[in-house]
Structure 1
Amino acid sequence: MTESTAQPGTESADGPAAGIDAGIDAEVLALAGRLFEAARTGDTGLLTAYVDAGTPANLTNDRGDSLLMLAAYHGHAATVTALLERGAEPDRANDRGQTPLAGAVFKGATEVVDALLAHGADPYAGMPSALDAARMFGKDDLVARLTAR
């Protein structure tokens, strides 16, 4: 991951979630957009209410970024924990092969890294893996966290 490549959650609007028909009702798409924005901004209450009501915890946008990926990349540990507790997959990679853990490492979000590791995230999953990203960017403190399992 580098600053010059597209990162999870950097798009201005989300396209249809994976598996949603292109002709889907505009209200459903607007709701999905609000949920992805809630993940980016750490609106745990909104996300948990919708997931508890039946929204898939692993909902993804048109780039394969899950709610968990967006929350992790933007440093929202409480939101990450809430999604994990509701069944979000900690190692679910986006379309670029990036995992939530690698995104959190890239951003230096230590609390998010700890939450993901506590819920079984694999430091070796993805491309680059979280461990590779920590080494690549000289984040020795995170290398130590990732290898202390």
Structure 2
Amino acid sequence: MPNEPGDLPPLPSPERLRELMFDAARLGRTDVLPALLHAGCAVEAKDERGYTPLILAAYHGHDEAVALLLDHGADPEAGDAARGNTALMGAAFKGFTSVARLLLERGADAETTNKAGQTALMLAALFDRREIADLLLAQGADPERCDAAGNSALSVARDQNNAAMGEHLRGTCPASRPGSRRVESAIPAS
């Protein structure tokens, strides 16, 4: 039966609204996200890969969407299902400095680890994201902290043949004084 004049079309199903929420976060659609949240979409919902809207917005560099989701109670420490990577780790991986700064300002912990024991600083070192590394270091990230495989941000920089990042990180270590085996072995002296 056709709609009568003045009738509204039916609302999308909850499943479709949920899909739209993830799409809006991924695309940074701050014009749509509030309506979806108001319609009952959970800010902490996870998609089929275990990503939250906040993780998707951060990974795609949408700082306004990140702020909006945080304003609505998104947990900056929530990790994805597969690896446990957080929104901050996604920003470090992709190099979105403004997103990383916002997440840190709004409660993300610079020392949170994923399931492999990796930190956002390790990802910043891996992908040569010096500005993000500096933000993380200023928030207490430890360049000597090791993941489950025994890698630190220092050793990751070394393994990537990134001497500049390695020297930068090495200079931030309290143990960077001569004789510190842990640091000396991570980055060869110039």
The equivalent residue for 1:77 is 63
Q: In the TM superposition, what is the alpha-carbon distance from 1:138 to its structure 2 partner?
A: 2.0
Confirm or deny: 8 A CA contact 1:99 1:129 kept in the other structure.
no
The equivalent residue for 1:116 is 103
User: Which runs of 5 or more residues in structure 1 are unaligned?
Assistant: 1-25
Count residues in correspondence.
124
Q: In the TM superposition, what is the alpha-carbon distance from 1:55 to its structure 2 partner?
A: 2.2
Q: 1:147 aligns with which of 137, 150, 166?
A: 137
Confirm or deny: 8 A CA contact 1:58 1:67 kept in the other structure.
yes
Q: In the TM superposition, what is the alpha-carbon distance from 1:48 to its structure 2 partner?
A: 1.7
Q: 2:34, 2:16 → 1: CA distance?
A: 18
Secondary structure, counterpart of 1:45 in structure 2: coil
Which moves more between the two structures, 94-103 or 131-140?
Answer: 131-140
Tell me: CA distance 1:34–1:48, structure 2 relative to 1, closer, same or farther (3 Å): same
Q: 1:57, 1:28 → 2: CA distance?
A: 14
The equivalent residue for 2:170 is none
- Tell me how large the CA RMSD over aligned residues is: 1.5
The equivalent residue for 2:19 is 33
Which moves more between the two structures, 80-89 or 115-124?
Answer: 115-124
**Partner deviation per Cα, 1:66-95 (whole Å, 9 max, x = no partner):** 000000000000000000011000010001
The equivalent residue for 1:105 is 92
Q: 1:53, 1:103 → 2: CA distance?
A: 27
Secondary structure, counterpart of 2:48 in structure 1: coil
Confirm or deny: 8 A CA contact 1:64 1:94 kept in the other structure.
yes
Q: 2:46, 2:13 → 1: CA distance?
A: 17
Larger Rg: 2
Confirm or deny: 8 A CA contact 2:28 2:57 kept in the other structure.
yes
Confirm or deny: 8 A CA contact 1:101 1:113 kept in the other structure.
yes
Q: In the TM superposition, what is the alpha-carbon distance from 1:108 to its structure 2 partner?
A: 0.6
Q: 1:126, 1:72 → 2: CA distance?
A: 17
Identity of aligned residues (%): 40
- Is 1:68 matched with 2:54? yes
Q: In the TM superposition, what is the alpha-carbon distance from 1:118 to its structure 2 partner?
A: 0.9
Q: 2:38 aligns with which of 52, 61, 68?
A: 52
Q: How high is the TM-score relative to the length of structure 1?
A: 0.77
Q: 1:27, 1:43 → 2: CA distance?
A: 20
User: Which runs of 5 or more residues in structure 2 are unaligned?
Assistant: 1-11, 140-190
Q: How high is the TM-score relative to the length of structure 2?
A: 0.62
Q: In the TM superposition, what is the alpha-carbon distance from 1:53 to its structure 2 partner?
A: 4.0
Letter paired with 2:47: N
Q: In the TM superposition, what is the alpha-carbon distance from 1:65 to its structure 2 partner?
A: 0.2
